[in-house]
Amino acid sequence: MRYADSVIDGISQDAFRPGRKPKIGSRKVAKVIKLTTQTMPENATHWSQGLMAEKTGISMSSVGRIWKSHGFKPHRVSTFKLSNDEAFAEKLAAIVGLYVQQC
C-alpha cells in the first residue's frame, strides 16, 4: 500500500510506530529517582536494586533500567568519613607530611 501511494519514497523509510506503552509511569520513575538521590534506606549504607524494588513495588530489573537510564550507581558513591580515633589529627598530619616529602 505504501509503495502504491508513494512509490520508492513510501518504502525507503519505515512508517512511524509508537511502540509499546511503558508499564511504569512517570510518577513511579520520579519516585525512584527522588528516593535514590534524596534518601537513605533503613539499616543500609546505600540503595540496592532489591531494597528499592521492595520500597517502590516494582521489579529489580525495572529499578536497574531506571538507574541506568539516569546514570545512577548508588553502590559507587564515594564519601569522606572522619575517624573516631582520638589521635586522628596527629596521624593525618604524619601521613600528609610523608606525601609532601615525596613530592
Residue 57 φ/ψ region, left for φ over 0, alpha for ψ in the -120 to 50 degree band, beta for the rest: left
Residue 65, pLDDT > 90, answer: yes
Give tens-digit pLDDT for 2-52.
666 666 666 667 777 888 887 899 999 999 999 998 898 888 888 999 999
C-alpha of 79 from chain center: 17
Report pLDDT for 1. 64
For residue 23, the number of C-alpha atoms closer than 13 Å in the C-beta half-sphere is 7
Report pLDDT for 3. 60
* Reported confidence tier of residue 63, pLDDT bands at 50, 70, 90: very high
Distance (Å, rounded) from C-alpha 39 to C-alpha 33?
10
